[in-house]
Amino acid sequence: MGMTMAEKILADHSDKEEVKPGEYIFANLDLVMGHDVSAPRAIRIFRKMGAKKVFNKDKIILLEDHFVPNKDVNSAESCKLMKEFALEQELTHYYPVGRAGICHAFLPESGMVLPGQLIVGGDSHTCTYGALAALGTGIGATDLAAAMALGKLWFKVPETIKITFKGKPSKWITGKDLILFIIGQIGVEGAKYKSLEFDREAVTYLSVSDRLTIANMAVEVGAKCCLMPPDAKIIQYLKERTREEIDISFLESDIGVNYEKVLEFDITKIEPQVAFPYLPSNVKPISKVGKIKIDQVVIGSCTNGRLEDLRLAAEVLKGKKVPNYLRLIIIPATQKIYLDALAEDLLKVFVEAGGVINPPSCGPCPGAQMGVLAKGEKAVSTTNRNFVGRMGHKESEIYLASPLVAAASAVKGYIADPRELLI
Amino acid sequence: MVWKFGDNIDTDQIIPAKYLSISDPRELGRHCMEDKRTNFASLISSGDFIVAGNNFGCGSSREEAPFVLKEIGIKVIIAKSFSRIFLRNAINIGLSVIDCAALVDETSEGDELEIDLSKGKLKNITTSQIYQSQPMSEFLLQIINDGGLVNFVQKELQKTRRVNK
Ligand code: SF4
């Protein structure tokens, strides 16, 4: 019968030769990640469990990204707890503010994520790592505590949905447009509990950065994980970041495996996509958006805060000024991206356009600080969620889009098609 | 009694992220569902039910979502379906979650329910309708019977300590 990518990785981390969808297993973990929201709670639970030592001090990553630089006394206390725990447990991978950036941008960038790994993170977008063929999945604080103590967790083996693309996208189409398009097609529950697998053809034309954006939003269709078969681009990306031996030989679904569904999308003709409030599936092509005036543009997050995203935005914003009533917030996702963007003069373009640069962090994405919205305000954002109140007041509105659409909208003051500006 | 909600109740509605730095459970609980229903937490009596549509608990991985619901007194959530991480977190903290679309369709806010978790039997006392849901897998029941994942891990750690001695 053969196995899918998800089944292979789960079997490889359990004591079984073969696993089947629906089966419950215990599996050993390669990496366990917690951030300043999930880790403090997990640390308290870890202590309540009576655990004394983490299972492996090299395999746990604690990192601050959500409410840093500390937004209030409570978040300062949370980060203090993380620091004390990291010191007490002598963790190799502890990254306070200023050392890393947003978890899902930092882990791949630093070469820690490798094909075939099983990774859990106290964050729903841990599925991002599937772009590098690692099975990453989000967990809550109790799971995170158990994972830190035991180095293993229970899993239900998911069924797999395969996605394939027909054709080649136009140059205006980014990974963000493709994943928004898919979410619009299959809905927020379209892949619930499933492994969302892209086949080799689907990823051929995509850069590693675009693949990370797509995998990042797999959770927005309810997926447990996302997996993309690694190819030469991935090998190259990894070689620049790690000296670890990389074995990708087993990382493709066997021929003839039982997919729950196979979905094929023709992407030759798709336009830039925009997700309207209040669900990421509420997607329209840019030509159907109409003239929607906006108050803020956010370019950043674990979805679209990489150097490639900032380059696209800078291409649109170069030499332009944003309208005076509009706030433009740019957030390089990691310290390294910040430095690279500085070296390439991208930050200069943004500041000259009237933008402000936030420190590498989640910023306004989870609605806590550094760019929250007032009642009735509208934002175009390259983040991944546009739920009620996600970025501030419950009557504010978030329109999700690519960095190109976001930058074009910043220039125009309303949701705009980048093709109008760059052609 | 039943509190009824629609589809796609996400974790930002259950507990907005801006409160996640609060560590006092009671204070955190006060903000449960506040954007959806004003003063929701104060309306709940211990043992109440939430009955909701599809994809309950979608969104972030925050365990605070099932936690605040349990904290304010919700005993069981019955929905047409749950998001994966919410379901996992609920089981791990010992909050019961049941899928039963038929009950959701035929139950109104304010109805009284009676639930036998071990048999998966659900009864709407107000309408006298009886429903059967999928019995929970033994694997998950074991974790719930252990009192959630915390106790499960405690037992595992004791086992390894004994082996090491
Ligand atoms: S950037 Fe937004 S989606 Fe990404 S980890 Fe931070 S809060 Fe979550």
Whether residues A146 and B58 touch (CB distance < 8 A) is answered with no
At B95, the pLDDT band (50, 70, 90 cuts) reads confident
Q: Mean of the per-residue pLDDT values for chain A? A: 96
pLDDT at B165: 57
At A22, the pLDDT band (50, 70, 90 cuts) reads confident
Please tell me which residue, A62 or A23, carries the higher pLDDT value: A62
| Distance spanning both ends of chain A, measured CA to CA | 50
Q: pLDDT (tens digit, 9 = 90+) per residue, A394-420? A: 999 999 999 999 999 999 999 999 999
How far is C-alpha A33 from the chain's CA centre? 14
pLDDT at A3: 97
Please answer whether residues B33 and B13 qualify as being in contact, where contact means their C-beta atoms are separated by less than 8 angstroms: yes
Task: Give the number of C-alpha atoms closer than 13 A to the C-alpha of residue B23, restricted to the C-beta side.
Answer: 19
pLDDT at A270: 96
Report whether residue A361 contacts ligand 1, using a CB cutoff of 6 Å: no
Report whether residue A362 contacts ligand 1, using a CB cutoff of 6 Å: yes
Q: Chain A residues with CB inside 8 Å of B156's CB? A: 150
Q: Chain A residues with CB inside 8 Å of B40's CB? A: none
Q: Which of A14, A49, A55, A156 to mutate to test the interface with B (most CBs of B within 10 A)?
A: A49
Q: What is the mean pLDDT of residues A301-323?
A: 98
DSSP state of A232: H
Please answer whether residues B122 and B100 qualify as being in contact, where contact means their C-beta atoms are separated by less than 8 angstroms: yes
Q: Chain B residues with CB inside 8 Å of A183's CB? A: none
Q: pLDDT (tens digit, 9 = 90+) per residue, A198-250? A: 999 999 999 999 999 999 999 999 999 999 999 999 999 999 999 998 888 88
pLDDT at A247: 84
DSSP state of A292: -
Q: What is the mean pLDDT of residues B61-80?
A: 92
A158 to chain B nearest CA, in Å? 11
CA distances from A83 to A2, A22, B147 (A): 45, 39, 30
pLDDT at B116: 86
State the pTM of this model. Answer: 0.91
Report whether residue A334 contacts ligand 1, using a CB cutoff of 6 Å: no
Dihedral angle, C-alpha A43, A48, A49, A51, nearest 10 °: 60
Q: Chain A residues with CB inside 8 Å of B143's CB? A: 154
Q: Sign (positive/negative) of CA torsion A175, A178, A184, A188?
A: negative
Q: pLDDT (tens digit, 9 = 90+) per residue, B3-45? A: 999 999 999 999 998 898 888 999 999 999 998 999 999 999 9
Please check the confidence at residue B66 and state whether its pLDDT lies above 80: yes
Ligand 1 center to B134 CA (angstroms): 35
Q: What is the mean pLDDT of residues A107-135?
A: 98
Report whether residue A217 contacts ligand 1, using a CB cutoff of 6 Å: no
Lowest mean pLDDT among A106-120, A328-342, A349-363, B4-18: B4-18
Give the residue whose CA is nearest to atom 5 of ligand 1: A302
Q: What angle do helix axes B84-93 and A141-150 make, rounded to 10 degrees?
A: 70
- Ligand 1 atom closest to Cα of A303? 4
pLDDT at A178: 98
Q: pLDDT (tens digit, 9 = 90+) per residue, A164-183? A: 999 999 999 999 999 999 99
Q: pLDDT (tens digit, 9 = 90+) per residue, B98-148? A: 999 999 999 999 999 999 877 889 999 999 999 998 777 777 777 777 868
Closest chain B residue to A224, measured at CA = B84
Ligand 1 center to A277 CA (angstroms): 18
Report whether residue A384 contacts ligand 1, using a CB cutoff of 6 Å: yes
pLDDT at B164: 62
Ligand 1 center to A362 CA (angstroms): 5
Residue A141 forms contact with B (CB below 8 Å):
yes
Q: Which two tokens stand for residue B126?
A: 């107000």
The rounded radius of gyration (Å) of the Cα atoms in chain B is 17
Closest chain A residue to B18, measured at CA = A368
Least Cα distance to A129 among A214, A56, A63 occurs for: A214
pLDDT at A254: 94
ipTM of the complex model: 0.85
Report whether residue A125 contacts ligand 1, using a CB cutoff of 6 Å: yes
Please tell me which residue, B88 or A98, carries the higher pLDDT value: A98
Ligand 1 center to A95 CA (angstroms): 16
Please tell me which residue, B63 or A312, carries the higher pLDDT value: A312
